[in-house]
Amino acid sequence: MNIDQLKEYIRFYTLNKCPQGNQGFNRVLLQLFGYLGHGKSSLINSCKYVLQDRDTEFTMIAQSGAADGGLTMERKSYQLTQTITMVDNRGCSTLNGYETGEIYAQLGNFIPLDQKVEWTKEFEEMMNRLEGSDVEPTFTDIIVPIFVYSVKKDLTDAETQEIKTFLTNCRNITGIFPIIVLTNKTSGNFSKFRDLFEGMGAEEIFAVENFTEEDHFETRGRHLQFLNMMYKVLEDVNFKMQKKIDPKRERAKHKIFLLTFLHKRDQQKNVKENSVLNFKQVRVGNY
């Protein structure tokens, strides 16, 4: 499809046209994740821009941060079309169990949109939040995880393993392997990171140069970067919707996964704290 055909398909996409119909779903959430300052907010601005009419001026609907300090502190939604909403997120400093626990809760739709993101460390606190989400549960969103990474940054072996585990868990929750969007493609070694994420199991990897206030020069190729990414997202949704899906059962499976994850996280935390305590007691005894 050419640019105009891609844009029209995305703008007028509806879950009603899926093979099994909408099955009780009415919205596609493109949920962004990633480290601080890797271009999540700028990606939203870029996607919104390319879907608008060509004579529309570039505007920043999502406030983006510079360098390593992201500005987003909440899970904030931006409607792209009648069906598609893009969701910005607080950037992670590290993909440890505390930050990923919050993310998995978001992927299971247990955390409301447009609220401040808190890295919850206490098991009881997260359990209370889960119980609260059952008062008015949300069943009607198909969530597609999108992992945003800047090729200007390097990765340690430990970070690579953290990301691999994270991506696999995202797939297990949503049924869709996270789309990888590599930003700042002209400022780093794109092929290196493409190979790295392919090794983690990534199926769709896109390299983009986000539109910004300083640089929103339009070219055909630059528009296609974002349109092709959104088109592939919708193809993944269509593939998932070929099967019979019960939204309520889906949410129940998500909750089981999250409860298991939180329980293991709490056990590991207790083991670590007990080890530190025993070590301190031994040192005191030796003196």
Record the tokens describing residue 204, joined without a space: 């769709």
Which residues, other chains included, contact 209 with Cβ-Cβ below 8 Å and sequence gap of 6+? 183, 184, 185, 186, 215, 222, 225
Residue 71 domain-assigned (yes or no): yes
Residue 286 domain-assigned (yes or no): no
Spatial separation of the C-alpha atoms in residues 138 and 160, rounded to whole Å: 33
Residue 226 domain-assigned (yes or no): yes
Spatial separation of the C-alpha atoms in residues 72 and 172, rounded to whole Å: 26
Per-residue pLDDT of the chain in tens (287 residues, 90 and over written 9)? 889 999 999 999 999 989 899 999 999 999 998 888 888 889 999 999 999 888 788 888 877 654 444 555 677 889 999 999 999 877 776 666 667 777 888 888 777 777 776 656 565 666 666 666 665 667 788 999 999 999 988 888 888 988 998 899 889 888 899 999 999 888 888 899 999 999 999 999 999 999 888 878 788 899 999 999 999 999 999 999 999 988 888 888 888 888 887 777 767 655 555 554 554 555 555 55
Domain count for the chain: 1
Residue 16 domain-assigned (yes or no): no
Taking residue 279's Cβ as centre, other Cβ atoms within 10 Å add up to 10
Residue 284 domain-assigned (yes or no): no
Residue 19 domain-assigned (yes or no): no
Residue 14 domain-assigned (yes or no): no
Residue 280 domain-assigned (yes or no): no
Q: What is the CATH number of the domain that holds 250?
A: 3.40.50.300
Domain that holds residue 150: 3-9+26-273
Spatial separation of the C-alpha atoms in residues 276 and 29, rounded to whole Å: 42
Taking phi over 0 as left and psi of -120 to 50 as alpha, with beta for the rest, 201 belongs to: left
